[in-house]
Structure 1
Amino acid sequence: GRLPPPLSHVGAKLKPEWLAEVLLHGKRQRDYLDASMPQYGGENVGHLVELFGRIDELEAVTFPEIADIRESKDAGYEMMGTTGFSCIACHDFNGQRAGGAGALDIVHVTERVRKSWFHLYMRQPSRFHPTVIMPSYWPGGKSIRPGILGGDTAQQIEGLWAYLEDGTRAKKPRGLSRQSSELRVTDVAEMCRGRGTAGYRGIGVGYPERISLAFDSEEMALRLLWRGEFASVNHGSFRARGGERISFPAGIPFHRLKSMDDHWPYKGKTDYAFPHDHGYQFRGYRLDALRRPTFQYRYGNIVVEDFFEDLLDDDGRAYFKRTILFESPDAPPLFHFRAGSGKKITSQSDHDFVIDQLRLRTAGDYRGVVREGDPAELLIPLTLSAGRSTLTLEYRW
């Protein structure tokens, strides 16, 4: 079964009434979990409600003034649906299943959580849950939907809260009743999340130039490229629909090899700390104007931003340009990026490689090294300076 959320800041997160229901009566919201809260009796745990609220403190939040509550709720309705932030791509809504990750029913959120915590969480979800796949829709405090409520971050979050306060009476968000499980891409990128093509915490992205990718947010690695139709979704999972698929190996993207004979680390069946024990932490993603994500994560002390751009070559054929931005407080020891693996890797230069059906090119000073084996691997040694460094790759197939 899936693991429960962390209990950090639970007193600042949950309303006392809801916390009491959980501790004293076994109230639960995540029915998809195998685990449930044991019941210890009111005489043993009843006093914890007040203590949790007293101990768990977060910074104060100043709520914005709402001039027109109807306008605020209408904005919340718009943001919830597929033309806004598309919250229903992952979250169930009022008993209706989502097409994506199958996250908890969002219609009960104002019944459960404190308004102050909601405002803080929405601004930066990864602050409270480092492995959460929910993105930040206000990266750096700026909204990715500037046309809603003047782009005011606090007003937009307040609008979502006002809309959700209607609970089960809230108007169904736009796009909730999608009849087809097929996701199609138009002039902006389309995303889906869930298990399947890219592991348990996969993120699928379909781009306007009709090429797609699957990214594993658990191990922070590219898993699949394909052409044509994007994806099919079904209650918490998604599957690639197109063809001409290029697969990438399981495991983390970066590692410090003790020698070139050292094995690349993989997750074992009972290795629950992987990849956090190798210094990894997923921090979500932000979207650009075309809704293309920049994946954000950490490798040790290095902050990583990972962006894929769909471009056309001179023959009008789409390919991906990948820009990985590193930011490090100091110059870290050398480590390797595993760019791909396959039955056969041919080196055409220090920057150009053919990995089975994939042609991969690196730009700048970084050069690839082929490590023979079964499968063969293309490794790129990375020696970073303090501050910002950039690795650029092109994927053509």
Structure 2
Amino acid sequence: MTTCKRVMCCLAFFTCCASSTWAQTANPYMPAVGNKPYLLRSYLMFEGKKRTHVISVGTPEKVSYSYDLKQGALLQIWRGQFIDVTEMWKDRGEPQLAKPLGSVLPLSAAPAIAALADKDTVWPDSIAFDGLQNKGYVLDKNKMPTFSYSSNGADINDRIVVQNGGGSIDRTISISNSKELLYCRIAAGPVIEALKDNTYSVGNKAYSIKVGAESKAFIRKTKNGQELLAPLAKGTASLTYSLIW
């Protein structure tokens, strides 16, 4: 198989893009984000583990993020260039990983939504493979995706958009048909400090979170630090928060 055919196979299997082109240089290979977001399916190494169901989104504002479709987890965000796909597209070698470029802020591989017996129950580090049913995603008018899945007996939509010209992102998680109280883990870190105006500093000021006053967010201690959680009522509920870094 020629190099050209191999590259075309990789594109068909790993990528989905909206009005974008990709730039190939000697080293590395980088998808070029145009005036609309670029969506890339890939393997990704995160927290020492190869994640096999990841989609990364690059935006015209030069803000990008990676999302684990089997955990409903926002893995990381970064500014600058989008992603290096050399290991995926060049000769189809191993380990076929995409590697974020720019300044990366790692977040968490744990699921965003969980059912807890009480407020002291340990947050799960993952969802069993068959515990989350992925329903794909839809694109808004700006070609930004909203991810849909079902877990814990509820239907969940997860929308992440860039705000303030790339100064922050907004994440809105909406649930429906929930038969029990669920929780959203907004952030986790060694320390979380409550500031004014429903704003929280995470990880010694690594980034900030701003929630609505109606969110009923609260900080709790964990074995490794602290978490910021918010309850999501039975039936239909939603939560929006801003991440500023």
- In the superposition, the TM-score normalised over structure 2's length comes to 0.79
Distance 2:149 2:120 in 1: 27
After TM superposition, where is structure 1 displaced by more than 4 Å over at least 4 residues in a row?
92-95, 97-103, 174-180
**Which of 370, 376, 379 is the aligned partner of 2:229?**
379
The reply to whether residue 241 of structure 1 matches residue 101 of structure 2 is: yes
Greater relative CO (CA pairs within 8 A, separation 6+): 2
Instruction: Quote the residue 1:319 is aligned against.
Output: 168
The total of aligned residue pairs comes to 226
| Equivalence map 1:218-297=2 (5 Å) | 218-233=70-85, 234-235=87-88, 236-243=96-103, 245-267=104-126, 274-277=128-131, 280-297=132-149
1:1-397 → structure 2 map (5 Å cutoff) = 94-96=5-7, 98-99=9-10, 102=13, 178-179=24-25, 181-197=29-45, 199-233=51-85, 234-235=87-88, 236-243=96-103, 245-267=104-126, 274-277=128-131, 280-312=132-164, 318-328=167-177, 332-349=179-196, 351-356=198-203, 357-363=206-212, 365-373=214-222, 374-384=224-234, 386=235, 388-397=236-245
Cα distance, 1:275 vs structure 2: 4.2
Aligned-pair RMSD on alpha carbons? 3.0
User: Between Structure 1 and Structure 2, which shows a larger proportion of helix residues?
Assistant: 1
Give a deviation string over 1:4-45, Cα, whole Å, max 9, x none.
xxxxxxxxxxxxxxxxxxxxxxxxxxxxxxxxxxxxxxxxxx
**TM-superposed deviation, 1:325:** 2.2
How high is the sequence identity, in percent, across the aligned residues?
A: 23
CA contact (8 A) 1:100 1:193 kept: no
Alpha-carbon spacing, 1:200–1:298, altered in 2? closer, same or farther (3 Å): same
Deviations, residues 112-167 of structure 1 (Å, cap 9, x unaligned): xxxxxxxxxxxxxxxxxxxxxx98x9xxxxxx99xxxxxxxxxxxxxxxxxxxxxx
Task: Name the CA distance, whole Å, in 1 between partners of 2:183 and 2:237.
Answer: 14
Deviations 1:205-238 (A, max 9, x none): 0112111111001211111011111111131431
> Which structure carries more strand by proportion?
2
Q: Which runs of 5+ in 2 are unaligned?
A: 89-95
SS of equivalent to 1:377:
strand
Distance 1:182 1:96, change over 3 A: closer
Residue 46 of structure 1 is matched in structure 2 by: none
1:178 to partner: Cα distance: 4.2
1:287 and 1:299 map into 2 onto residues whose CA distance is 21
- Following superposition, the deviation at residue 249 of structure 1 comes to 2.3
Please give the alpha-carbon distance, in whole angstroms, between the structure 1 residues aligned to 2:128 and 2:116: 17
The one-letter code sitting in structure 1 at the alignment partner of 2:109 is A
C-alpha separation in 1, matches of 2:198 and 2:184: 14
1:322 Cα deviation from its structure 2 partner? 1.4
Distance in 1, matches of 2:111 and 2:227, equals 13
CA distance in structure 2 between the aligned counterparts of 1:317 and 1:264, rounded to whole angstroms:
30
TM-score (norm. length: structure 1)? 0.51
Q: Does the CA-based 8 Å contact 2:115-2:152 persist in structure 1? A: no
Counterpart-to-counterpart distance in 1, 2:227 and 2:4: 44
Whether the 8 Å contact between 1:229 and 1:241 is mirrored in structure 2 is: yes
Query: Which structure has the larger Rg?
Result: 1
